[in-house]
């Protein structure tokens, strides 16, 4: 905040000068260039709110590029998002589209990123769970840049390759790591799902209290706890078997680079969600069985045992739900280019 206040004071101090003098001053001090490269959107936003004509120029002589090109080159999605929303407040917010040269430079930058070689000033866009979702983020960024540049450039051939082919070649190692991570995770989850399915399937034929010798009807059929047991056992079995099928589908996937965008993440998200549900249903069935078996004989033990039985679910939730939430956010969350708009939010030109 101190830096923003200082920058605001500077903008107010030079506001009486001509546009040329203002532009030269900001370039000489490299204010906009550094702010763009480092992703300090507050400074960029402040300067353009004070001097809207700056949106048409290069942020600094050092790069000779416009804001959008510089933001893509240094992977500053927060900075780039400022220029992708058309504001009705000021017509100067209409950022000129990229030229053919700029489109090629943007696509080169998007295709040649390597997650392991990011500059420290880059946005932490790869801070996601596992190599699969890191790869997904890479593809999302590539697709986002592709949607911004001139359409025919993205599909054009350069050095006998399209930019997508270059992207695939550059990220082959990350794709291999993603495949390994996905298979290891899937194998572990499938083992747990299989064990749960086996337990619940067995419980279906060994109901608590036994069956009537003549009719075969469960002896405890009339109790509410028995109904809870049957429903939770059926739902748990359905969830675990479906999770097994999803994990099997993941293991037999082809693992093409484009599969990391939606296909594989959706399957692992659904599989983990169903695994969590099957575990929860299994423990509900266990608690219901205890209620029927102990009945009023050891009523004092019901609450402690039920609480102990809920520990695995709570532990799974604490350890795995943050990971699952991160996966869902990465797959179904807002686009990388969540346009903010230069004139949205804080109005730096207002007097304090």
Residues 286 and 313 in one domain: yes
Average pLDDT over residues 116-140: 64
User: Which of 66, 96, 126 lies at the terminal end of a domain, its last residue?
Assistant: 96
Q: Is the dihedral of CA 77, 83, 84, 85 positive or negative?
A: positive
Residues 282 and 315 in one domain: yes
Asked, for residue 243, whether it belongs to a domain, the answer is: yes
The residue ranking higher by pLDDT, 65 or 278, is: 278
Residues 26 and 120 in one domain: no
Q: Are 33 and 70 in contact (CB under 8 A)?
A: yes
Residues 164 and 186 in one domain: no
What percent of the chain stands above pLDDT 90? 17
pLDDT tier at 277 (50, 70, 90 boundaries)? very high
User: Which of 96, 126, 145 lies at the terminal end of a domain, its last residue?
Assistant: 96
Q: Are 323 and 129 in contact (CB under 8 A)?
A: yes
> Is the predicted pLDDT of residue 258 greater than 80, yes or no?
yes
DSSP letter for each residue of 229-246: HHHHHHHHHHHHHHHHHH
The encoded tokens of residue 229 equal 């047991």
Asked, for residue 106, whether it belongs to a domain, the answer is: no
In degrees and rounded to multiples of 5, residue 158 shows phi and psi of -135, 125
> Is the predicted pLDDT of residue 191 greater than 60, yes or no?
yes
Q: Are 110 and 145 in contact (CB under 8 A)?
A: yes
The pLDDT value recorded for residue 210 is 60
- Its pTM stands at 0.75
Asked, for residue 343, whether it belongs to a domain, the answer is: no
pLDDT of 84-115, one tens digit each? 654 434 444 456 667 788 788 888 888 877 55
Asked, for residue 303, whether it belongs to a domain, the answer is: yes
> Is the predicted pLDDT of residue 227 greater than 80, yes or no?
yes
Average pLDDT over residues 65-75: 76
pLDDT tier at 235 (50, 70, 90 boundaries)? very high
Long-range interactions of 251-256: CB distance < 8 A, separation 24+: 251/183, 251/186, 251/187, 251/190, 255/175, 255/178, 255/179, 255/182
The residue ranking higher by pLDDT, 201 or 43, is: 201
If you ran DSSP here, which 8-state letter would residue 255 be given? -
Chain mean pLDDT for the chain: 77
DSSP letter for each residue of 71-111: HHHTT-HHHHHTTSS--SS-GGG-PPPP-HHHHHHHHHHHH
Asked, for residue 139, whether it belongs to a domain, the answer is: yes
The pLDDT value recorded for residue 296 is 59
The pLDDT value recorded for residue 118 is 46
Average pLDDT over residues 331-350: 63
Domain encompassing residue 62: 2-96
Average pLDDT over residues 2-28: 74
Asked, for residue 338, whether it belongs to a domain, the answer is: no
Per DSSP, the three-state class of 222 is coil
Residues 233 and 152 in one domain: no
Residues ≥6 apart with Cβ < 8 Å to 10: none
Residues ≥6 apart with Cβ < 8 Å to 207: 218, 220, 226, 229
Residues 33 and 137 in one domain: no
The residue ranking higher by pLDDT, 2 or 340, is: 2
The residue ranking higher by pLDDT, 10 or 117, is: 10
> Is the predicted pLDDT of residue 262 greater than 60, yes or no?
yes
Residues 199 and 306 in one domain: yes
pLDDT of 289-317, one tens digit each? 877 777 656 666 667 777 777 787 788 77
pLDDT tier at 219 (50, 70, 90 boundaries)? low
pLDDT of 174-190, one tens digit each? 889 989 999 999 999 99
The pLDDT value recorded for residue 237 is 94
C-alpha closest to that of 262 among 334, 166, 330: 330
pLDDT tier at 251 (50, 70, 90 boundaries)? very high
Asked, for residue 345, whether it belongs to a domain, the answer is: no
Asked, for residue 339, whether it belongs to a domain, the answer is: no
The pLDDT value recorded for residue 213 is 56
State the first-to-last Cα distance of the chain, in angstroms, to the nearest integer.
14
Per DSSP, the three-state class of 37 is helix
Lowest mean pLDDT among 86-90, 231-235, 259-263, 302-306: 86-90
The pLDDT value recorded for residue 125 is 46
Provide the residue count of the chain.
352
The pLDDT value recorded for residue 86 is 46
The encoded tokens of residue 61 equal 């002589």
Give how many domains the chain has, as a whole number: 3
């Amino acid at each position: 905040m101190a830096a923003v206040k200082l920058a605001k004071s500077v903008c107010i101090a030079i506001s009486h000068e001509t546009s040329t003098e203002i532009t030269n001053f900001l370039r000489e001090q490299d204010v906009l260039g550094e702010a763009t490269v480092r992703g300090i959107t507050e400074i960029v936003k402040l300067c353009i709110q004070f001097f809207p004509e700056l949106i048409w120029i290069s942020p600094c002589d050092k790069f000779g590029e416009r804001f959008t090109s510089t933001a893509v080159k240094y992977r500053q999605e927060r900075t780039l998002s400022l220029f992708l929303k058309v504001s009705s407040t000021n017509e100067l917010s209409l950022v000129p589209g990229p030229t053919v040269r700029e489109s090629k430079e943007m696509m080169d930058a998007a295709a040649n990123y390597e997650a392991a070689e990011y500059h420290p000033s880059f946005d932490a866009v790869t801070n996601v769970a596992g190599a699969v979702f890191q790869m997904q983020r890479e593809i999302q960024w590539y697709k986002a840049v592709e949607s911004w540049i001139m359409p025919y450039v993205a599909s054009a051939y350069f050095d006998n390759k399209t930019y997508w082919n270059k992207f695939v070649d550059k990220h082959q190692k990350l794709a291999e790591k993603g495949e390994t991570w996905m298979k290891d995770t899937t194998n572990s989850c499938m083992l747990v799902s299989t064990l749960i399915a086996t337990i619940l399937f067995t419980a279906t034929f060994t109901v608590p209290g036994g069956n009537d010798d003549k009719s075969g009807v469960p002896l405890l059929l009339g109790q509410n706890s028995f109904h809870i047991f049957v429903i939770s056992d059926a739902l748990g079995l359905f969830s675990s078997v479906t999770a097994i099928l999803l994990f099997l589908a993941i293991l037999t996937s082809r693992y093409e680079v484009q599969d990391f965008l939606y296909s594989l993440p959706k399957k692992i998200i659904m599989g983990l969600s169903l695994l969590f549900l099957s575990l929860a249903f299994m423990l509900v069935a266990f608690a219901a069985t205890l209620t029927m078996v102990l009945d009023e004989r050891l009523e004092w033990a019901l609450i402690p045992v039920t609480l102990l039985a809920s520990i695995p679910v709570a532990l799974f939730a604490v350890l795995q739900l943050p990971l699952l939430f991160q996966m869902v956010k990465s797959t179904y969350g807002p686009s990388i280019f969540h346009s903010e708009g230069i004139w949205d939010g804080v109005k730096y030109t207002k007097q304090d």
